[in-house]
């Protein structure tokens, strides 16, 4: 069983590494001069290191090596959050232009490097590890609560500012923000549950990799929002994801059906699902298109009214 779990984790790790490199290349190639694109690449690099060191920390059987990799894992988490702050807040929301946020930037920089130092070079956050049947379990130090507070604070700060700024953005930027928020909230939820609540409240550590692996989600949605010129609303995206997941489940059920009757019924279910899913997706896309046309029409009417008012005053 351990070998199967290890193999699944190994495949997941390699997939995340290759996908992260691919997304970085795509975003970097889209516009190399843009600083926001460069910060996406930096953020992706730290997320990859986060996942790799977490994997190594879990699966190595040597306690000293496990401590070493786990501390690097927590260090990579700190730098990932710092780079996410620069990507989303400083460059996407353009807070670099606001003088008051220079102070906030300096405070976050100081806190990030302080937490990084505690995590990597001391036993304040990670004191020791114990080798268990499922892998190496972390024994946390007294400063682990500081690390968790830092991670939750930075994550919450990014999400709150994205939501706050959302209502003042253009329609195009709003769509981008929807993608950013969806991916970020998913990863935030996974990490709070599996990397903070489970270890601290229930003393369960073996599912921390789920929080680590979830970090690929904001990268996927963010890269798509950066590169894709025409974005659909989040409702369309969620419908596509739901249909894809349900279709995949039904396909797996059909492939692994043990009896002829089960296989026939699975095929019928899959066929009917795909048939109706096609019309559902078409209707959602049609609704989104009509919504875009209505917004464009309202904008045109508003411009015409402004033009008429100017002519009257002239």
| Between 256 and 119, residue with greater pLDDT | 119
Share of the chain above pLDDT 90, in %: 27
pLDDT of residue 154: 93
Per-domain boundaries in the chain: 2-229, 240-313
Q: 90: closest CA among 108, 73, 76? A: 108
Q: Is 232 a residue whose pLDDT tops 80?
A: no
Determine the Cα–Cα distance for residues 212 and 210; give it in Å rounded to an integer.
5
By the 10 Å C-beta count (0-12 exposed, 13-18 middle, 19+ buried), 246 is classed as: middle
Lowest mean pLDDT across 32-46, 93-107, 132-146: 93-107
Average pLDDT over residues 181-201: 85
Distances (CA, A) of 173 to 12, 92, 156, 165: 32, 9, 20, 10
**In the structure, what pLDDT confidence band is assigned to residue 234 with cuts at 50, 70 and 90?**
low
133 CB neighbour count, 10 Å cutoff:
7
- The secondary structure of the chain in percent helix, strand, coil, rounded to multiples of 5, reads 80, 5, 15
14-44 per-residue burial string, b: 16 or more CB within 10 A, e: under 16: eebeebbeebbeebeeeeeeeebbbbbbbbb
pLDDT of residue 27: 86
Determine the Cα–Cα distance for residues 282 and 75; give it in Å rounded to an integer.
46
In this structure, which CATH number among 2.40.30.10, 1.20.1070.10, 2.10.70.10, 2.40.240.10 belongs to the domain 2-229?
Answer: 1.20.1070.10
CA triplet 234, 192, 153: central angle to 5 degrees?
90
End-to-end CA distance of the chain: 81
Determine the Cα–Cα distance for residues 2 and 30; give it in Å rounded to an integer.
42
Q: Residue 123: CA atoms inside 13 Å, Cβ hemisphere, count?
A: 7
* One-letter-per-residue 3-state SS of 206-258: CCHHHHHHCCHHHHHHHHHHHHCCCCCCHHHHHHHHHHHHHHHHHHHHHHCCC
69-91 per-residue burial string, b: 16 or more CB within 10 A, e: under 16: bbbbbbbbbbbbbbbbbbbbbbb
Q: Is 237 a residue whose pLDDT tops 70?
A: no
H-helix segments, 31-99: 35-59, 63-85
Q: Is 266 a residue whose pLDDT tops 70?
A: yes
Q: Give the mean pLDDT of the chain.
A: 83
pLDDT of residue 296: 66
283 CB neighbour count, 10 Å cutoff:
11
Residue-wise pLDDT for 160-172, tens only, equals 998 888 888 777 7
**In the structure, what pLDDT confidence band is assigned to residue 157 with cuts at 50, 70 and 90?**
very high
pLDDT of residue 236: 64
Q: Is 147 a residue whose pLDDT tops 90?
A: yes
Kind and range of the H or E element at 161? helix 144-166
Q: Which of 6-15, 87-96, 105-114 has the highest mean pLDDT?
A: 105-114
């Amino acid at each position: 069983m351990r070998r199967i779990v290890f193999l699944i984790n190994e495949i997941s790790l390699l997939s995340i590494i290759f996908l992260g490199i691919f997304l970085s290349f795509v975003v970097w190639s889209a516009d190399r001069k843009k600083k926001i694109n460069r910060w996406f690449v930096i953020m992706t690099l730290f997320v990859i290191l986060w996942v790799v060191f977490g994997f190594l920390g879990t699966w190595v059987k040597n306690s000293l090596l496990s401590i070493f990799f786990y501390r690097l894992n927590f260090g990579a988490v700190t730098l990932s959050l710092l780079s996410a702050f620069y990507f989303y807040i400083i460059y996407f929301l353009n807070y670099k232009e606001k003088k008051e946020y220079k102070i906030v930037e300096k405070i976050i920089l100081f806190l990030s490097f302080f937490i990084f130092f505690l995590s990597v070079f001391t036993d304040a956050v990670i004191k020791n590890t114990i080798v268990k049947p499922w892998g190496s379990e972390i024994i946390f130090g007294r400063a682990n609560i500081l690390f968790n507070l830092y991670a939750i604070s930075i994550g919450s700060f990014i999400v709150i500012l994205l939501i706050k700024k959302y209502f003042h953005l253009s329609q195009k930027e709003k769509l981008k923000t929807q993608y950013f928020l969806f991916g970020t909230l998913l990863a935030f939820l996974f990490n709070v549950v599996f990397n903070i609540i489970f270890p601290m409240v229930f003393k369960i550590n073996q599912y921390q990799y789920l929080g680590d692996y979830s970090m690929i989600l904001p990268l996927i949605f963010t890269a798509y929002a950066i590169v894709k010129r025409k974005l659909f609303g989040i409702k369309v995206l969620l419908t596509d994801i739901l249909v894809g997941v349900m279709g995949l489940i039904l396909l797996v059920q059909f492939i692994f059906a043990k009896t002829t009757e089960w296989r026939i019924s699975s095929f019928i279910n899959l066929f009917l699902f795909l048939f109706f899913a096609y019309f559902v997706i078409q209707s959602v896309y049609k609704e989104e298109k009509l919504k875009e046309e209505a917004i464009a029409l309202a904008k045109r009417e508003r411009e015409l009214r402004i033009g008429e008012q100017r002519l009257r005053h002239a």
